[in-house]
Amino acid sequence: MAFFQTPPELGNTYSGDDVLKRYLRNTLPPDVLTQIEPELLAMGELSGGELYRDSLANYREEPKLEQWGPWGRRVDQIELSSIWKKAQRITAEKGVVATAYERKTGSWSRVHQFALVYLVEPSWHVYSCPLAMTDGAAKTLTVSKNQALIDRALPHLMSRDPSESWTSGQWMTERTGGSDVAICETVARPIAGESGMYGLSGTKWFSSATTSQMALTLGRPEGNPPGGSGLALFYLEVRNADGTMNGIEVNRLKDKLGTRMVPTAELTLENARAQLVKGADSGIKNITPMLNVTRTWNAVCAVSGMRRGLMLAKDYARRRVAFGAPLDQKPLHLDTLATIEAEAQGGMLIAFRVVELLGKEEVGELTEQEAVLLRILGPIVKLITAKQGVAVASETLEAFGGAGYIEDTGLPRLLRDAQVLPIWEGTTNVLSLDLLRVLAKGGSLEPIFREVNACVEGADTSLKEPAEAALKAIEHAGTWLMRTLEAGGPALVEAGARRLALTLGRAIELALLVREATRSKKYGDHEKAAAAARRFWRSGVDLILDENIDADAKTLFA
Ligand SMILES: Cc1cc2nc3c(=O)[nH]c(=O)nc-3n(C[C@H](O)[C@H](O)[C@H](O)COP(=O)(O)OP(=O)(O)OC[C@H]3O[C@@H](n4cnc5c(N)ncnc54)[C@H](O)[C@@H]3O)c2cc1C
């Protein structure tokens, strides 16, 4: 009889996720968990059922740009994929952005919101992209205290009515770059007689939420000095009241490796009407709240992708028979999956730790020490989970053999979509340098020491070595930082910044894994978390190199 492989199945992504359920049980007050669990179950059902089936059936759909109307007028209409249209409705109805602002669960509202995001993200082809920016825009406008803009945009950004809800773009990157935004070329000319209103002219080189109703963007008011401080933050609406474009042309959609359903476009702005959000300078500083939110989304989406890959790979391992037995009976296959399972669990815990802190910050419950910890963790959580996301996705595909490389299994997309995570919202290097800046501006490693210490306190004797490894790695990071600064100054520290950031990230992830095992003991299901901690530790924590390898880097580049 002919042999056919059995495809993997995905059930309810909440019920099937022991790691998330354990974390929520260990973290949330029981009444909060009881309150939000029906929503998580419903989202898990949708994500593992209808949306998953849609995502497999319609994986080839892509946005289409129609630049010209039938009578020769420029229209720049983008037709979205059917999944994205459905995602727009689901987002509003389920309050995926609104949950964070309605605060029905107080300081836990961010955990509530990001649990929903985590459950659904891989099923709707990166619809998280416009949502992250929408959430970031809502936060930025809220903290700007610009009441007119808050009144105008916020009700739409957090609306639960699909016909009223808006998304927002974040237009920072120009041809000059996305990391070095200070050299942005967009010119802002004041509109006579309209206070705070400007006409923006320039090119926006990457605009991912091009179908959004509004955007936050940067421009340099005429006469302002060059550099970052001369830029201002602007709010604009993409279309005029009559539906025509607001001085904006969509030149083309980008042809991308992944995120194929995201309508990422190149735009030309010619006197686009825009309003100052908060003063006529300090734009980079003023858009920072947006970046803090979008980077948190990036981290949660990275860990969500890892979990999806593992859910499918584990299910497949139970079905796929090779060499006389299912793969889940092959010690080496189990060993391979164990390594990425530990990475995924560590990533999830650091991502949600930042989510917890963000939630506390927004209700004013953050202590001073926690505020510094959040600033330090911001770049770390984004860069480490993104790197883990790519590595885990790659290993996941291999776990399916040839099927992992075939488009209509829905698997290759996991890797392609993961690859954007270390690039947008700040590359690994750029974020490592951000970390150095946070540390230089009065942040010390002290809050991380405290966090790691608190996590490993009371650890089971079976976790003594992982706990010690986490502490040692942080200590090593501290001594390396001091010694390198003394020996070679900032340039030498810069060369090692990525290893520093990843070491801190891995040490915190390991400590959180140890804590998860300790917290789970009273429920009797601590062994899985303990095994993850041990495996994670065995994969290596401390990446810092003491010897000066800067000269080698120059030799190797030449
Ligand atoms: C699919 C997609 C969608 C996007 N959507 C948006 C969007 O909606 N809005 C938006 O504003 N942008 C968007 N971007 C742009 C994205 O944010 C930038 O591409 C990203 O921030 C990197 O900037 P860059 O392209 O200028 O790279 P560069 O800064 O040129 O980086 C090139 C390399 O140099 C390294 N590097 C740069 N500076 C340093 C340094 N000082 N030290 C050491 N290494 C360094 C980087 O790590 C990287 O490896 C999108 C990008 C992609 C791929």
49 CB-near residues (< 8 Å, 6+ apart): 12
Residue 172 Cα, ligand 1 centroid: separation in angstroms?
10
In whole angstroms, what is the distance from residue 124 CA to residue 135 CA? 17
Is residue 1 over pLDDT 80? Answer: no
Nearest protein Cα to ligand 1, atom 35? 429
C-alpha span between 508 and 487 (Å, rounded): 27
- In the chain, the N- to C-terminal Cα span, in Å, equals 59
Which residues does 294 contact at the CB level (< 8 Å), separation at least 6? 132, 133, 135, 136, 170, 425
Annotate 16-78 with DSSP letters as a single string.
T-HHHHHHHHHHS-HHHHHHHHHHHHHHHHHHHTHHHHHHHHTTT---EEEEE-TTS-EEEEE
- Predicted local distance difference test score (pLDDT) of residue 425: 95
- The predicted pLDDT at position 262 comes to 97
For the stretch 49-54, contacts whose Cβ atoms lie closer than 8 Å and that sit 24 or more positions apart, written own/partner, are 49/12, 51/83, 51/86, 51/90, 51/120, 51/123, 51/124, 52/10, 52/123, 54/82, 54/83, 54/86, 54/123
Q: How far is Cα 353 from Cα 547, in angstroms, rounded to an integer?
A: 33
Longest dimension (CA), the chain: 81
Provide the H-helix boundaries in 182-255.
none
Q: Is 297 exposed, middle or buried (0-12, 13-18, 19+ CB in 10 A)?
A: buried
User: Quick check: 352 pLDDT over 80?
Assistant: yes
Of the pLDDT bands very low, low, confident and very high (cuts 50, 70, 90), residue 302 is very high
User: Is residue 58 within 8 Å of 131, Cβ to Cβ?
Assistant: no
Q: What is the mean pLDDT of the chain?
A: 96
Q: Does residue 340 have a pLDDT over 70?
A: yes
Residues, the chain: 558
Nearest-CA residue for ligand 1 atom 51 is: 424
Residue 267 and residue 171 in contact, taking contact as beta carbons nearer than 8 Å? yes
Question: pLDDT grade, residue 346 (50/70/90)?
Answer: very high
In tens, the pLDDT along 130-140 reads: 999 999 999 99
Percent of the chain with pLDDT over 90: 93
Which residues fall within 8 angstroms of residue 317, CB to CB, at 6 or more apart? 326, 327, 328, 333, 334, 337, 399
Q: Which atom of ligand 1 is nearest to the CA of 209?
A: 8
Q: Please tell me the distance between residue 189's alpha carbon and the centre of ligand 1 in angstroms.
A: 27
Q: Which helix (H) or strand (E) holds 284?
A: helix 283-319
The residue type at 491: A
| Ligand 1 atom at shortest distance from the alpha carbon of 171 | 11
* CA nearest ligand 1 atom 6, residue: 206
What tens digit of pLDDT does each residue of 55-82 get? Answer: 999 999 999 999 999 999 999 999 999 9
**What pLDDT is stored for residue 38 in this prediction?**
98
Query: pLDDT category, 489, cuts 50, 70, 90?
Result: confident
The values of phi and psi at residue 167, to 5°, are: -115, 165
Give the confidence band of 488 by pLDDT, cuts at 50, 70, 90.
confident
CA 336–ligand 1 middle distance (angstroms): 32
Ligand 1 atom closest to Cα of 133? Answer: 8
The SS3 call for residue 552 is helix
Q: Indicate the top mutation candidate among 78, 207, 262, 423 to test ligand 1's pocket, ranked by most ligand atoms within 8 A of CB.
A: 423
- Residue 208 burial class via C-beta count within 10 angstroms: exposed 0-12, middle 13-18, buried 19 and up: buried
Nearest CA to ligand 1 atom 21: 178
- Pocket residue to mutate for ligand 1, from 419, 430, 498, most atoms within 8 A of Cβ: 430
Q: Which residues contact 383 (CB under 8 A, 6 or more apart)?
A: 422, 426, 428, 431, 432, 498, 501, 502, 505
Instruction: State how far the Cα of 122 lies from the Cα of 522, in Å rounded to an integer.
Output: 33
Ligand 1 atom nearest to 259, measured from its CA? 1
Q: Output the CA 185–ligand 1 centroid distance in Å.
A: 16
From 205, 427, 437, 492, give the residue whose CB has the most ligand 1 atoms within 8 Å, as the site to mutate: 427
Question: What is d(CA 205, CA 172) in angstroms, rounded to the nearest whole number?
Answer: 8
In angstroms, what is the span from residue 427 Cα to ligand 1's centroid?
A: 6
Cα-atom radius of gyration of the chain, to the nearest Å?
24
Q: Look at residues 110, 134, 178 and name the one whose alpha carbon lies nearest to residue 290.
A: 134
Interval 83-112: pLDDT, tens: 999 999 999 999 999 999 999 999 999 999
Name the closest-CA residue to atom 3, ligand 1: 208
Nearest residue CA, atom 30 of ligand 1?
177
Cα of 426 vs centre of ligand 1, distance in Å, is 6
Task: Write out the two tokens for 174.
Answer: 């120009």
CA 204 to ligand 1: nearest atom = 11
pLDDT band at 546, cuts 50/70/90?
confident
Mutate to test the pocket of ligand 1, among 128, 173, 174, 181 (most ligand atoms within 8 A of CB): 173
Whole-number Å distance, alpha carbon 422 to ligand 1 midpoint, is 9
Distance from the CA of 435 to the center of ligand 1, in angstroms? 17
Residue nearest to atom 7 of ligand 1 (CA): 207
DSSP run (H or E) holding 309: helix 283-319
Instruction: Find all residues with CB under 8 Å of 193, minimum gap 6, and list them.
Output: none
Instruction: Let me know: does 390 contact 422? Beta carbons within 8 Å.
Output: yes
Report how far ligand 1's centroid is from the alpha carbon of 383 (Å).
13
The whole-angstrom separation of Cα 262 and Cα 78 is: 11
440 burial class (0-12, 13-18, 19+ CB within 10 angstroms)? exposed
**Band (555; pLDDT cuts 50, 70, 90):** confident
Instruction: Report DSSP state, residue 288.
Output: H
**pLDDT tens-digit series, residues 204-227:** 999 998 899 999 999 999 999 999
> Residues enclosing ligand 1, CB less than 6 A?
170-173, 177-180, 206-208, 256, 259, 264, 420, 423-424, 426-427, 429-430, 433
Indicate whether 11 pLDDT > 70: yes
CA distance 391 to 342: 12
Question: Would you state the pLDDT for residue 442?
Answer: 74
Position 443 scores a pLDDT of 67
How many Å apart are CA 325 and CA 305, to the nearest integer? 28
